[in-house]
Amino acid sequence: MNKEKWNEKQIEELLSQMPTIRDERTPTQIYQQTEQKMSKPQKKLWLVPSIASIAAVFIIVVVSMSFVQQQNVYHQSSERPLNELQRKDEATPYEKKSEDKEDQPQLFESKEVNPSLAVQPSLQNRNEKFITIGIPDPQAQIVVPLTYIIDKKEPITVEDIKSISETVNEEQLGLSENMLEKVQLVESKEGVKVSVPEGFTANLGGTGEVVFQQSLEETFRWLPFEKVELYSGDTKGVEFGHLGKYVEISPNPAKQKGYMTYQPSESHPTYLVPTPQPFETINAALEVMKKDNDTYFLKASIPEDINIPKVTIENETVIYEFDASVNEKEIESLRYMLYALMFTAKDFGYKAVRFKGFANPQIGELKVDELQETPVAPNVVEP
């Protein structure tokens, strides 16, 4: 395709043929129109983002005020009860504890707590008057004998048992309900009559029946009553659903059981308790006393690092002979072991105990180089 070559003349002729473009307005008109356009208000494009910013600030202010009000309410509601509790503590020291317990399941009856309670493993003084009461553990598997010394010269009576029974603080001791509080005790010429209320045995179950029976045994076998008769109202004998009919309970102190330690928790005392089962010999009992019993939450009374002592019987005396494995620095564990061995000898009907193999003549309050009478009663609750 051939390109045409345009010269200047042709271009001028072409431009002259195009329509004429001319502004017919006068200079004055042009100036006035331009001034009018410049004087018109422009659209405020910043208005929308400004409104959004104001709205955001407003929301922040509202939320902040709400948060401050909530903080004030929180501080007022938390400070006021604290002040009230402080005032209550000053007026009634046990009121706050009772309020806290209302929201928790109660295992024990509420009684005043004595923070200075202590329990000694054994009563050795035969001149002391005392009452021993058997209380079940919280799992109702074992019965813990508790001994209370009373200031009295006359012989022990049933009224003494009732009086002491009412003062037992099961919660503080870490134990379950005192079953003696549910029965009537009447002294007779032959011993004691235990009368259970109508329907008492209906809800005990097999375990409850055994624990009830053991509670009576652990109570009266330490006391000077030769016979314990059971009554259902005025009728002699009590019919148990699982154990059958029982007419009396044997208070025989010689049960041929060993002794182990039991502690409900770290905040409760440690007790010496008889083994659940009896044994034919002391040696058989010592084998069990050497091992923990996880089923009944019992701990070995013979420490792990001490070998079982050799047992020799001379008349009415049990001789426990230890080897060189005894660590005499562990005084507390040794005390419980020695008392457990003494109660075991008593449970087999022996009157005295002698220890051999100790370098020190005394462990705690026990003079191990001397002949010891078997203990009077276990677990002395100090006032």
DSSP letters spanning 307-321: PPPEEEEETTEEEEE
Residue 200 lies in a domain: yes
The last residue of one of the domains, among 249, 272, 291, is: 249
Q: Pick from 163, 141, 142: which is nearest to 151 by CA? A: 163
* Beta strand 317-321 pairing with 352-356: parallel
Question: What pLDDT score was predicted for residue 253?
Answer: 84
Residue 136 lies in a domain: yes
Question: Looking at per-residue confidence, does 250 or 262 come out higher?
Answer: 262
Residue 264 lies in a domain: yes
Question: 271 and 318: one domain?
Answer: yes
CB-CB contact of 362 with 207 (8 Å): no
Question: 230 and 131: one domain?
Answer: yes
212-249 pLDDT per residue, tens: 999 999 999 999 998 999 999 889 999 998 889 999 98
Question: What pLDDT score was predicted for residue 21?
Answer: 59
Question: What pLDDT score was predicted for residue 19?
Answer: 60
CA 145 from centre of chain: 21
Question: 128 and 244: one domain?
Answer: yes
CB-CB contact of 351 with 316 (8 Å): yes
Residue 370 lies in a domain: yes
Question: 224 and 280: one domain?
Answer: no
Question: 343 and 364: one domain?
Answer: yes
Question: 233 and 127: one domain?
Answer: yes
Q: Pick from 199, 299, 243: which is nearest to 216 by CA? A: 243
Question: 153 and 245: one domain?
Answer: yes
- Point out the least confidently predicted range of 43-57, 117-131, 207-221, 290-304: 43-57
Question: 293 and 234: one domain?
Answer: no
* pLDDT higher than 70, residue 197: yes
pTM assigned to the model: 0.69
The last residue of one of the domains, among 249, 277, 300, is: 249
Instruction: Give the span between the Cα atoms of 96 and 301, in whole angstroms.
Output: 39
- Point out the least confidently predicted range of 90-94, 201-205, 316-320, 337-341: 90-94
Question: 226 and 154: one domain?
Answer: yes
User: How many domains in the chain?
Assistant: 2
Question: 272 and 222: one domain?
Answer: no
Residue 342 lies in a domain: yes
Name the 3-class secondary structure at 137.
coil
The last residue of one of the domains, among 249, 273, 300, is: 249
Question: 243 and 293: one domain?
Answer: no
Residue 59 lies in a domain: no
Residue 21 lies in a domain: no
Q: Which domain holds residue 356?
A: 259-376
What average pLDDT does this structure show over 347-354? 97
What average pLDDT does this structure show over 365-380? 96
Please provide the average confidence, as pLDDT, over all residues in the chain: 80
Question: 226 and 265: one domain?
Answer: no
From the number of C-beta atoms within 10 Å of its C-beta (0-12, 13-18, 19+), residue 155 rates as exposed
Q: Pick from 253, 257, 299: which is nearest to 282 by CA? A: 257
Q: Pick from 336, 338, 382, 379: which is nearest to 356 by CA? A: 338
Residue 283 lies in a domain: yes
